[in-house]
Structure 1
Amino acid sequence: MKKIYIAIAFLGLTFTSCSDFLEEENLSNTTAEDFYTSAVGYENLVNANYSQLRDIYGEEPWLFCAGTDMYAEGRNAEPPGLSRYTQLNSTSDGVALLYDQCYEAIQLANMAMFYSERTEQTDELSSQIGEIKYLRANAFFLLVQTYGDVSLVTDYIQEPQLQFSRTPAEEVYGFIISELEEALTLVNDGAFDGHIKKRAVEHLLAKVYLTRGYETFGSTNDFTTAASYADAAIDGQSLTIPFNDLWSPDNEMNAETLFSVQYDNSSVTVNPSSYGNQQAYFFGSYQGGSEIAGDAPYRSYNLCPTKYTIDLFEQGDERWEGTFMVEIFDRYFDYFDEEDHTTLNVHHYFEPKWYANDATYMADYIANHPGVTYHEYDTYHAAVNPNLDNETITVKKFDSPDVPFSASSSVRDIVLSRLGETYLIAAEAYLQAGNATTGLARLNEVRQRAGVADATLAEFDIDYILDERGRELVGEYHRWFDLKRTGTLVERAAMYHYLIEESNFNGSNGVQKILRPIPQTALDLNQNQDFPQNPAYE
């Protein structure tokens, strides 16, 4: 394979505890050549690759969620380029995060592949190589979706390189698929235990083929293959865990989790505000100041649900209360800490749309809950919130009761692949492959777990799938990629995000700002003068 150079700084490896399953140790007074050629050293290098996922997913989630149909800013401003597109350019806040972190992950993976040929041979080495291939493929998949043509770097770079070129996206997809299909032959089978297993690889392969199918170089066969891999990942397993239980704290390692970024309390005790992740922090309004410290979690008042997100749910859908904190008690975390909620005082209540304009229901609820602040439907989404606490509904599924009130981080795992989404990938793949009947059956498995009526063949189309993905996956890091993949980003963002119009996407050269710009820092470091920016930003 042609060697392509990338400007990347020397990467020092700082080992911190990743989870109960993946433990690392500090090194001192030993060289990489000595350490990584031992079984213990190589295991540390593998674990460092897992730890890099924290930097990719654990920081600000703008590139995953902002500027979509489902989330918009509340009190605090989001980066205007990524959230509204009008000011999006190569120096915009947040544009470089995935570019930088994914290439650091790729450098770590390339390093692990380099030492895999030099390290002590063990029974675990084959599966470790498969895990590294998965992690490298995942990083390239994030890059190619976000930036388009990117540098395909597969060699371990041991000194700074100052020239690099862009590899066509078609070739990058081919490499990703070859890596994952090889990983599938190497990783272990069985339930997820913190390490990548076969079903996680099959899930990612299904998503990669599904995404490639929409590209100009894709084909219907990609959708068929995606459906096959999704069914393999499902492996006959039904969705049996109640949705609320699926997101119960300390239950991330449930039978439906295929892969997640691992955290635990011991990994954040030194600095809870910095060493956890920020998934819980963004999806809701601020809920009180220091006068009630300990009684409510700290929130950023960013990535608040849009009206579209609120309206996705119908009466009886278990995902409504499984996703949102519909009733806030005087002490917020009593929802998790107290088994009996009937004796607790409700401080805030958010009325669902099916009780809108029902004066009798509202009067009865207020009478039965003295002192409650009753938020009527259509008053608590991002576009209408006043500058007050608790005025937008909060996504509770990521709540982390174990962290202090003042911490802006969570010790909950970030779930990247789970069975509910695998069913929805299968549904979309079968639809696009021309087998709508089977696709509908996969989607209805998700709806049946949620306790709502089956969708019909007449209403089953890509918009219905995107709505269903919205209901099932609120706050999970998929939405921008879903809209970009299906070619609906411009239409849906303009339709449902109160700060976005279609014209916001107008870029240079008559090209819309769908792909993100190559970060200016990468362009400045590159001595290849023929390296192009994405056309919308030239």
Structure 2
Amino acid sequence: MKKIKNIGIVLLVMMVLSSTSCSDNFLDEELTTKYSTEYFDSPKGLEELAVSLYGNIRWHYGFEWAYGVTLYGTDEFTTGNDLTNEMWNTYDNRFGPNGATVGTGAINGNATSPAALWDEMYYGIASANTIIAKAETVITDVRVRNRVLAHAYFMRGYNYYRLTAQYGGVVLQTTPVTTVVRNFVRSSEEDSWKQVISDLRNAYTLFEGEVYTYGKGITWTKATAAHFLAKALLFRSSERNDAWNSSYKDADIKEAIDVCSYAISARGSLTPNYSDLYANWTGIDCPNEQLSEILMAAGHNGDAATVGRFGNRTYNYFAPQFSAFSGSWVRRGVWIGSMDFQRCRPTEYSYAVYDHVNDARMWKTFKTVYGINTLQTSNPNGLKLGDPGIVMILNTKNDNTYNGYTFGCAATQFPNWKDDAKRLPEWTIGARQTPTSGALTTKVGQFSPNSLVLYQNGVYVAPNFKSTTFCNFFAGINKTDDGSRNAERGDAHRDVIMARLAETYLLRAECYVRLGQYGPAMNDLNVVRSRGQWKAGENRSYYVDGSVAFVNNALNTGTNATNYINSNLNMNTYYLSNPGVAVTTAASNLLLTSFPNSLPTEDEVILAKIGATTNYDRALNFILNERTRELLGEWDRWETLSRTGTLVKRTIAYNPEAKFITVGKHELRPIPQAFIDGLLNDDGTNLTAEQKKAWQNPNY
């Protein structure tokens, strides 16, 4: 425990974001800044402050930190050709407590500082503290009081969860501050988790079941609190905290199972079609945003008051740079649901972890085909608008079909495709795919100016398709695509899912594994895997993503409408990627029959590479694999690997760019140096070098 003074650092109370608490959706409220803090001495004021807490979570998806602090530097994602947050992935000497600026070696001013999360979370905490301190005396209606307290405890618990997961022990401020804060204490990681768990337990107790009070399906409920309470309990009992957590483990795991079971029973079954969670997003506030599987989301809509500094920018980060490497055959625009900022490139692991034949989630997640929307002057192959302009074949390591083929980008590829034997099977152009019909023909002769394959001769060759230093030609994921944008670089309008019931099943499965109860764990895993199977009647070559929202976009007129039709072909490369599979609409089977022995082949390969041999290690790492298959790109991979003590091993195995990741250092983020430098001793003197070192995480 380190008690120090600080001059000039104040914990601010968030501005009230709304003028009333009875709207159907908190994002419909007008931004109101006219109230003083005295307004919070009234029941209405406190209830409106509780509504405003929903605004704090939107910060997480408003800029480059969305992926930097959650996805980079793991087994799932590495850098594309844009290196804005490269240091978060490589862990080189630019990643440290001094931030990430051009002066410290960042490539541009958009890089994420380790201080970003540290600074922002305390805004929501300050608002929660105000509610918790005042509610008992200000609000006499017990139901209303419990409602606002539930929101306040949840917000404080969630924000401290995020801080503790990233930094370890943090400053625990649990009472309102109205003047300059002069004394800070950095609590231990153990005490920080105690606070997180206490707050989330209080929220779980106070929420009125699945009663929606301040919004629609995105509203926090008892099931939301249960989910994050389980995550916090599991975090405290996981490997990162083994130095001190032995006395908590059994009780924490059993409690986590109990609260997971509440959420699962309260919310019912998973939504039947995985595509409905992300791919079938048809526009602002569409029904798919209200699915009962969604436990928490950062809400966005078309209201002008909700755009701006923390608008949804996530559609920028997962697509390859298709407008550049395609030789301008595929031009970007609002008609394609993503921007090609090439931030997050999937690793070899993120493709190989799937059963490419039987796991529908792979083909409902990866975008593998772009249509030609701009014809070029040089067109020796007679390409037409709407022909496939970019084709990404996601084959497996043991596939030899494409060993003699030449793949690449338009600028260099034309001379290599004169031999019909080395052209791709062709699509039936003009007959668009539907969810239940349409497939590739078997005729050879289709030419595509840009094509990629994952493996040739058993070697992973996808990183070879480069423009400069890093790969900018890869299959991105579609979970953030948004065709409702009003401008090419405008804010997205779709909600960002932060928690859903499938993860709750995976959390409970992990708890069972930690108790050595592999049968119940397998049952929970099979619930998730069952939804991931192909259903009878599904067209496996059909593809859709949030670009489809453009159908209802006011911009969908004239040339824009034509570009939408030509760019989004509703097809994937399932049959090209699995050349031995005949066209079929039969159901597939992903169900486990033995656990943790005799696991699927793709898992056995991964477990062998990372050296997981004991039943426990096999089971835990299988769940980490299953989390990828189910939750790829859903903003918590770094946290999960850090928690389970697998971050370094799995990252070294599958992320070649993470060259400097170090055991005993990078499982925690650095405490911001600017914060430490602002601290003073009780007598007003500056901290010594040793005192500052004591505040910092190890080896920074």
Normalised to the residue count of structure 1, the TM-score between the two structures is 0.88
Residue 265 (1) aligns with residue 342 (2): no
Residue 44 (1) aligns with residue 81 (2): no
- Equivalent-residue separation in structure 1 for 2:461 and 2:119 (angstroms): 33
- Equivalent-residue separation in structure 1 for 2:231 and 2:517 (angstroms): 17
Aligned to 2:333: 293
- Equivalent-residue separation in structure 2 for 1:386 and 1:471 (angstroms): 26
Aligned to 2:350: 309
Residue 181 (1) aligns with residue 228 (2): no
Q: What amino acid is aligned across from residue 430 of structure 1 in structure 2?
A: Y
Structure 1 residue 294: Cα displacement: 3.2
Change (3 A) 1:423 1:92: same
- Quick check: 1:81–1:89 contact (8 Å CA) kept in 2? no
Aligned to 2:566: none
> How do 1:87-102 and structure 2 match up within 5 A?
87=93, 88-93=95-100, 94-102=113-121
Residue 276 (1) aligns with residue 311 (2): yes
- Quick check: 1:267–1:275 contact (8 Å CA) kept in 2? no
Q: What amino acid is aligned across from residue 243 of structure 1 in structure 2?
A: Y
2:425 is paired with a residue whose SS is helix
- Quick check: 1:239–1:420 contact (8 Å CA) kept in 2? yes
- Equivalent-residue separation in structure 1 for 2:230 and 2:44 (angstroms): 33
Q: What amino acid is aligned across from residue 229 of structure 2 in structure 1?
A: L
The percentage of counterpart residues that share the same residue type is 26
Structure 1 residue 490: Cα displacement: 0.6
- Equivalent-residue separation in structure 1 for 2:448 and 2:464 (angstroms): 23
- Quick check: 1:298–1:405 contact (8 Å CA) kept in 2? no
Moved more, 523-532 or 45-54: 523-532
Aligned to 2:70: 64
1:151 is paired with a residue whose SS is coil
Moved more, 521-530 or 158-167: 521-530
2:657 is paired with a residue whose SS is coil
- Equivalent-residue separation in structure 2 for 1:207 and 1:362 (angstroms): 49
- Equivalent-residue separation in structure 2 for 1:298 and 1:226 (angstroms): 39
Aligned to 1:373: 450
Structure 1 residue 362: Cα displacement: 6.6
- Quick check: 1:86–1:505 contact (8 Å CA) kept in 2? no
Structure 1 residue 80: Cα displacement: 4.0
Structure 1 residue 484: Cα displacement: 0.4
Residue 252 (1) aligns with residue 302 (2): no
- Quick check: 1:68–1:493 contact (8 Å CA) kept in 2? yes
Change (3 A) 1:424 1:381: farther
Aligned to 1:337: none
Residue 329 (1) aligns with residue 409 (2): no
Q: Deviations over 1:301-328 (max 9, x none)?
A: 1121111111111112111122111222
- Quick check: 1:430–1:439 contact (8 Å CA) kept in 2? yes
Q: What amino acid is aligned across from residue 480 of structure 1 in structure 2?
A: W
Change (3 A) 1:423 1:12: closer
- Equivalent-residue separation in structure 2 for 1:385 and 1:413 (angstroms): 33
**RMSD across aligned C-alpha pairs, in angstroms?**
3.0
Aligned to 2:262: 232
Aligned to 1:498: 656
Change (3 A) 1:20 1:373: farther
1:461 is paired with a residue whose SS is helix
- Equivalent-residue separation in structure 2 for 1:125 and 1:257 (angstroms): 25
Aligned to 1:108: 127
Residue 520 (1) aligns with residue 673 (2): yes
> How do 1:12-161 and structure 2 match up within 5 A?
13-16=14-17, 21-22=25-26, 23-27=28-32, 30-33=35-38, 35-60=39-64, 61=66, 62-87=68-93, 88-93=95-100, 94-122=113-141, 123-161=143-181
- Equivalent-residue separation in structure 2 for 1:101 and 1:382 (angstroms): 38
Structure 1 residue 496: Cα displacement: 0.5
Structure 1 residue 292: Cα displacement: 4.7
Aligned to 2:560: none
Unaligned 5+ residue runs, structure 1? 333-342
Moved more, 371-380 or 313-322: 371-380
- Equivalent-residue separation in structure 1 for 2:83 and 2:73 (angstroms): 12
Change (3 A) 1:425 1:382: farther
Moved more, 84-93 or 302-311: 84-93
- Equivalent-residue separation in structure 2 for 1:243 and 1:427 (angstroms): 20
Aligned to 2:590: 453
1:265 is paired with a residue whose SS is coil
Change (3 A) 1:325 1:15: farther
- Equivalent-residue separation in structure 2 for 1:439 and 1:134 (angstroms): 28
Aligned to 2:476: 394
Q: What amino acid is aligned across from residue 357 of structure 1 in structure 2?
A: N
Aligned to 2:9: 8
- Quick check: 1:383–1:498 contact (8 Å CA) kept in 2? no
Aligned to 2:642: 484
- Quick check: 1:330–1:346 contact (8 Å CA) kept in 2? yes
Aligned to 2:610: none
Q: What amino acid is aligned across from residue 680 of structure 2 in structure 1?
A: Q
- Equivalent-residue separation in structure 2 for 1:3 and 1:180 (angstroms): 26
- Equivalent-residue separation in structure 1 for 2:674 and 2:146 (angstroms): 37
2:184 is paired with a residue whose SS is coil
Aligned to 1:534: 696
- Quick check: 1:268–1:411 contact (8 Å CA) kept in 2? no
Higher helix share: 1
Q: Deviations over 1:58-113 (max 9, x none)?
A: 33221111111111111111434321112221113221111111112211211222
Change (3 A) 1:154 1:13: closer
Aligned to 1:426: 508
- Equivalent-residue separation in structure 2 for 1:242 and 1:283 (angstroms): 22
Aligned to 1:335: none
Q: What amino acid is aligned across from residue 197 of structure 2 in structure 1?
A: I
- Equivalent-residue separation in structure 2 for 1:10 and 1:224 (angstroms): 36
- Quick check: 1:5–1:153 contact (8 Å CA) kept in 2? no
Change (3 A) 1:57 1:8: farther
- Equivalent-residue separation in structure 1 for 2:199 and 2:462 (angstroms): 41
Change (3 A) 1:405 1:346: farther
Moved more, 238-247 or 6-15: 6-15
Match of 1:417 among 483, 499, 507: 499
Structure 1 residue 155: Cα displacement: 0.7
- Quick check: 1:284–1:305 contact (8 Å CA) kept in 2? no
Structure 1 residue 116: Cα displacement: 1.9
Q: Deviations over 1:124-162 (max 9, x none)?
A: 221111111011001111111111111111011111113
Structure 1 residue 120: Cα displacement: 4.1
Structure 1 residue 44: Cα displacement: 2.2
Residue 166 (1) aligns with residue 208 (2): no
- Equivalent-residue separation in structure 1 for 2:33 and 2:114 (angstroms): 35
- Quick check: 2:373–2:386 contact (8 Å CA) kept in 1? no
2:695 is paired with a residue whose SS is coil
Residue 364 (1) aligns with residue 436 (2): no
- Quick check: 2:671–2:697 contact (8 Å CA) kept in 1? no
- Equivalent-residue separation in structure 2 for 1:176 and 1:362 (angstroms): 57
- Equivalent-residue separation in structure 2 for 1:107 and 1:179 (angstroms): 14
Moved more, 123-132 or 470-479: 123-132
Structure 1 residue 12: Cα displacement: 6.0
